Amino acid sequence: MDDLLTIGEVARRSGVAASALRYYEERGLISPERTGAGHRRYRRAVIRRVAFIVFAQRIGLSLEEIGELLARLPDDRAPNRRDWGELSATWTARIDARIAELERLKVGLTECIGCGCLSLDRCQLANPGDLAGRRGAGPRYLMGDPPRPA
């Protein structure tokens, strides 16, 4: 297997559009080598970096945060298991919070979510007169506020 891949090969293998790869390069998240003709060539290890970027975005990290994390990886070699483990350990709490949020969403869509619509018959029981709105904007129960005590 060749150690250097074209942008098309990285795009096909990673499932990320070539335009996104160029954007990640512009943001300093990945970096190619250049051929004498100026064509991009990526080390195979960039595929893992791209996967990290995609999943980090899915859990809500901004590209700035992702860049800060990727900057911790070694420049002189491909990152190993330990490097990736240390990096991903920094976002475990964020993943747990996202899982809890998704669980509330899964359960909450058929129940009162404290948004103030008062359109479900259960809203009058869980959120009479939109009491949840006193806690702030948004769907308060989905955001983690407990429903009012019965």
pTM of the model: 0.67
C-alpha closest to that of 141 among 125, 53, 28: 125
Is 141 within a domain?
no
Is 27 within a domain?
yes
Range of the domain at 52: 4-90
Same domain, 58 and 120: no
Q: What mean pLDDT value characterizes the chain? A: 87
Whole-Å CA distances, 38 to 9, 34, 35, 41, 120? 17, 5, 5, 9, 61
Same domain, 51 and 120: no
Same domain, 69 and 102: no
Q: How far apart are the first and last CA of the chain?
A: 64
Same domain, 12 and 81: yes
Tens digit of each residue's pLDDT (9 = 90 or more) over 75-127: 777 888 999 888 888 788 888 888 888 887 887 778 888 888 888 888 888 88
Q: Of 37, 69, 90, which residue constitutes the final position of a domain?
A: 90
Same domain, 85 and 115: no
Handedness of CA 72, 76, 78, 79 (dihedral sign): negative
Same domain, 77 and 104: no
> How many domains are contained in the chain?
2
The secondary structure element, H or E, covering residue 34 is: strand 33-34
Same domain, 25 and 76: yes
Q: Tell me what pLDDT residue 149 has.
A: 59
Under a CB-based contact definition with an 8 Å cutoff, are residues 61 and 52 in contact?
no
Same domain, 79 and 21: yes
